[in-house]
């Protein structure tokens, strides 16, 4: 996808003049990505990434920069966000925020092998361990994944679409949210919330960097794990890893246990987390429902069928299939 906002050489030079990153030699738009505008910059001091946020407030971008600075201090592999001459990590151009990042070397993988999949699970667990209890100053300016924000987004979507089906979906979502059990004891922190191989870089077959924290937010630490075990998520096209048998509408629990075994090697789960993974998993499905609120397929819709399957299975059986010895 082409950059949503075009930047001229003159404008990029003007923005770079606020930094100590050298003189602009070349630039090109990044064609991947679907939301923000990104440019590769080549200067006399190296290569960098310029990101222009199409739909974020300055405070939301500052949340991201706080998080990335925290992660780099903790030696987590992600590109650093760079400060300008005034010590600021985000700026404003034409009333929208921007930031400049280190350029991370490595390649995206279309067909990761089993060892690389395990590396992904490890880095998810490590990130969740590092951010446990961490709450950036600008957390209130991000969309943080919880029951309240899910309900608010659903109401906004219903008002925007304004159809009988949207109102029916809203009623279903309200009922499903009311059935979740998410006790205060569940640990929270910042999750990436967009872990898939398009946001991972590998060098010589080894994990080298996690990029794109545009969806990161303060939520239940289980949220990233829920995405990893989600067999319904098309973006995790790992040649059926974990496997979703559409004709039966069930998990491959064997693969789910494999993921959890690798994850818990690097971050142990409390009993509360094991028991309420069922609920956080449901919450992640409900947020997927928000992003595709217009979707309706015959008499039902995709997320409704997922929740119905989990309800038929039940919390006890879900727990037993994943965690029982």
- Residue 193 belongs to a domain with what CATH number? 3.90.1200.10
Residue 316 CB contacts under 8 Å (≥ 6 apart), including other chains: none
Establish if 109 belongs to a structural domain.
no
Any idea what DSSP says for residue 38? E
State whether 197 and 55 are in the same domain.
no
For the segment 211-238, the average pLDDT, to the nearest whole number, is 79
Establish if 120 belongs to a structural domain.
yes
Peptide bond into 229 cis (omega under 30): no
Query: Mind listing the pLDDT tens digit for each residue in 227-273?
Result: 888 754 433 443 443 444 444 445 678 888 889 999 999 999 999 99
Distance of alpha carbon 127 from the chain centroid: 12
* Helix axis angle, 271-291 to 164-178, nearest 10°: 170
State whether 119 and 42 are in the same domain.
no
Residue 291 CB contacts under 8 Å (≥ 6 apart), including other chains: none
pLDDT at res. 33? 65
pTM more than 0.85: yes
Query: Mind listing the pLDDT tens digit for each residue in 61-77?
Result: 999 999 999 999 999 99
Contact between 87 and 220 (Cβ < 8 Å): no
Strands 250-251 and 200-203: unpaired
Rounded distance between C-alpha atoms, residue 325 and residue 257, angstroms: 11
Query: Mind listing the pLDDT tens digit for each residue in 93-111?
Result: 999 999 999 999 998 888 8
Q: How many helices and strands, by DSSP H and E, does the chain display? A: 10, 11
Query: 217-238 in b/e burial notation, b at 16+ Cβ within 10 A?
Result: bbbbbbbbbbbbbbbbbeebeb
State whether 217 and 173 are in the same domain.
yes
State whether 174 and 273 are in the same domain.
yes
Give the total number of structural domains in the chain: 2
Query: Mind listing the pLDDT tens digit for each residue in 142-174?
Result: 999 999 999 999 999 999 999 999 999 999 999
Q: What are the backbone angles phi and psi of residue 153, rounded to the nearest 5°? A: -65, -40
State whether 159 and 298 are in the same domain.
yes
State whether 204 and 287 are in the same domain.
yes
Residue 61 CB contacts under 8 Å (≥ 6 apart), including other chains: 53, 90, 97, 98, 99
Confidence of residue 298 (pLDDT cuts 50, 70, 90): confident
State whether 212 and 149 are in the same domain.
yes
Cα 172 to Cα 109, 155, 253, 303: the distances in Å are 38, 12, 27, 11
Domain that holds residue 24: 9-102
3-state SS, residue 232: coil
pLDDT at res. 195? 81
pLDDT at res. 246? 45
pLDDT at res. 236? 41
Q: Which of 79, 102, 125 is the last residue of a domain?
A: 102
State whether 191 and 54 are in the same domain.
no
Token representation of residue 77: 């592999």
Confidence of residue 3 (pLDDT cuts 50, 70, 90): low
Query: Mind listing the pLDDT tens digit for each residue in 135-144?
Result: 999 999 999 9
Token representation of residue 318: 């879900």
pLDDT at res. 233? 41
Q: Which of 72, 102, 132 is the last residue of a domain?
A: 102
State whether 171 and 262 are in the same domain.
yes
State whether 285 and 137 are in the same domain.
yes
CATH number at residue 15: 3.30.200.20
Q: Which of 42, 67, 102 is the last residue of a domain?
A: 102
**Other CB atoms within 10 A of residue 210 CB:** 23
Token representation of residue 71: 């992660």
DSSP string, 150-219: HHHHHHHHHHHH--HHHHHHHHHHHHHHHT----TTS-EEEE-S--SGGGEEEETTEEEEE---TT-EEE
- Where does residue 240 fall: left (phi above 0), alpha (psi -120 to 50 degrees), or beta otherwise? left
């Amino acid at each position: 996808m082409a950059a949503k906002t075009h930047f001229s050489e003159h404008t990029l030079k003007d923005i770079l003049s606020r930094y100590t990153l050298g003189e602009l030699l070349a630039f090109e738009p990044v064609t991947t990505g679907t939301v923000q505008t990104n440019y590769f910059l080549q200067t006399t001091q190296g290569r960098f990434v310029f990101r222009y946020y199409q739909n974020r407030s300055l405070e939301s971008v500052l949340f991201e920069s706080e998080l990335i600075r925290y992660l780099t201090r903790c030696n987590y592999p992600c590109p650093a966000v760079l400060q300008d001459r005034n010590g600021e990590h985000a700026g404003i151009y034409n009333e929208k925020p921007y930031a400049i990042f280190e350029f991370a070397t490595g390649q995206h993988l279309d067909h990761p092998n089993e060892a690389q999949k395990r590396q992904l699970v490890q880095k998810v667990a490590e990130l969740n361990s590092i951010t446990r209890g961490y709450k950036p100053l600008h957390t209130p300016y991000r969309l943080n994944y919880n029951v309240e924000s899910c309900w608010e987004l659903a109401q906004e979507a219903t008002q925007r679409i304004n159809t009988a089906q949207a109102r029916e979906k809203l009623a279903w979502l309200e009922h499903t949210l009311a059935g979740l059990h998410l006790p205060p004891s569940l640990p929270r922190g910042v999750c990436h919330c967009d872990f898939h191989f398009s946001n991972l870089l590998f060098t010589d077959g080894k994990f080298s960097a996690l990029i794109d924290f545009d969806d990161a937010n303060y939520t239940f630490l289980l949220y990233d794990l829920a995405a990893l075990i989600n067999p319904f998520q098309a973006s995790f096209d790992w040649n059926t890893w974990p496997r979703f048998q559409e004709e039966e509408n069930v998990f491959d629990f064997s693969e789910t246990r494999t993921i959890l075994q690798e994850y818990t090697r690097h971050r142990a789960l409390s009993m509360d987390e094991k028991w309420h993974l069922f609920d956080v998993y449901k919450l992640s499905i409900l947020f997927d429902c928000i992003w595709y609120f217009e979707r309706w397929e015959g008499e039902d819709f995709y997320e409704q069928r997922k929740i119905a399957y989990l309800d038929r299975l039940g919390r006890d059986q879900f727990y037993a299939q994943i965690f029982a010895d």
